[in-house]
Structure 1
Amino acid sequence: MLYSLLDNDKMVSHITVNAIDFIVLGEKKRFVQFGTVMTDEHYRNQGLSRVLMETVIDEWKDKCDMFYLFANDSVLDFYPKFGFAPVDEYEATKKVSKIESPYSVRKMDIKNVMDLNLLYETAKDTESLFALSMQNNSGLVMFYCNYFELFSFKGNLFYIQGLNAIAVADHEEDTLILYDILTTEKIEIEEVINVLATEQTKNAILKFMPNNSENNEKRLFKEEVSTLMVMGDKGELFKNNKLMFPILSHT
Structure 2
Amino acid sequence: MTINHKNYTFLMQYQNEEKWRESFNSLTKKTYRFDFEKWYQSGYWDEGCLLYSLAEGDKVVSHVTVNVIRFTILGVEKKFVQLGTVMTDPDYRKQGLSRVLMEKVMLDWQDHCDMIYLFANDAVLDFYPKFGFVPVNEYQAVYQLKAVKKGPAFRAMNMDNAGDRDLLFHTAQQAVPLFKISMKDNAGLVMFYAHYFDRFSVSDFLYYITDLNAVVVAEYEEEMLILHDILAPATVDIKTVIHAMARENTSEVTLGFMPENAEDYEISLHKEDNSTLFVQAGCNKLFEDHQLIFPLLSHT
- Please give the TM-score of this superposition, normalised by the length of structure 1: 0.97
CA 72–152 in structure 1, closer or farther in 2 if over 3 Å, else same = farther
Unpaired runs of at least 5, structure 2: 1-49
Partner in structure 1 of residue 270 of structure 2:
221
Q: 1:72 aligns with which of 84, 105, 121?
A: 121
Structure-2 separation of matches of 1:100 and 1:50 = 54
Quick check: 2:181–2:294 contact (8 Å CA) kept in 1? yes
Structure-1 separation of matches of 2:101 and 2:196 = 28
Quick check: 1:155–1:179 contact (8 Å CA) kept in 2? no
Structure-2 separation of matches of 1:67 and 1:183 = 27
Partner in structure 2 of residue 33 of structure 1:
82
What amino acid is the match of 2:230?
Answer: I
1:161 aligns with 2:246: no
Partner in structure 2 of residue 57 of structure 1:
106
Q: After the TM superposition, which parts of structure 1 deviate over 6 Å for at least 4 consecutive aligned residues?
A: none
CA 38–22 in structure 1, closer or farther in 2 if over 3 Å, else same = same
1:3 aligns with 2:84: no
- Deviation of 1:153 after TM superposition, in Å, equals 7.1
Partner in structure 2 of residue 113 of structure 1:
162
Quick check: 1:148–1:154 contact (8 Å CA) kept in 2? no
RMSD: 1.3
Greater RCO, 1 or 2 (C-alpha within 8 Å, sep 6+)? 1
Q: Secondary structure at the match of 2:258?
A: coil
For each residue in 1:194-225, what CA deviation from the matched residue of structure 2 results, as whole angstroms up to 9, or x when unmatched?
00001100000001101111111111110112
- Deviation of 1:184 after TM superposition, in Å, equals 0.3
Q: Secondary structure at the match of 1:243?
A: coil
What amino acid is the match of 1:174?
Answer: E
1:83 aligns with 2:132: yes
Structure-2 separation of matches of 1:46 and 1:158 = 47
Quick check: 1:148–1:155 contact (8 Å CA) kept in 2? no
- Deviation of 1:148 after TM superposition, in Å, equals 6.5
Unpaired runs of at least 5, structure 1: none
Partner in structure 2 of residue 174 of structure 1:
223
Quick check: 1:92–1:216 contact (8 Å CA) kept in 2? yes
Structure-1 separation of matches of 2:227 and 2:197 = 15
Quick check: 2:158–2:203 contact (8 Å CA) kept in 1? no
Structure-2 separation of matches of 1:191 and 1:148 = 30
Q: 2:149 aligns with which of 99, 107, 110?
A: 99
Q: 1:187 aligns with which of 233, 236, 252?
A: 236
Structure-1 separation of matches of 2:292 and 2:201 = 21
Partner in structure 1 of residue 200 of structure 2:
151
Identical aligned residues as a percent: 53
Q: Secondary structure at the match of 1:18?
A: strand
- Deviation of 1:155 after TM superposition, in Å, equals 5.5
Quick check: 1:154–1:170 contact (8 Å CA) kept in 2? no
Q: Secondary structure at the match of 2:172?
A: helix
Structure-2 separation of matches of 1:118 and 1:155 = 16
Structure-1 separation of matches of 2:269 and 2:203 = 21
Q: Secondary structure at the match of 1:162?
A: helix
1:46 aligns with 2:68: no
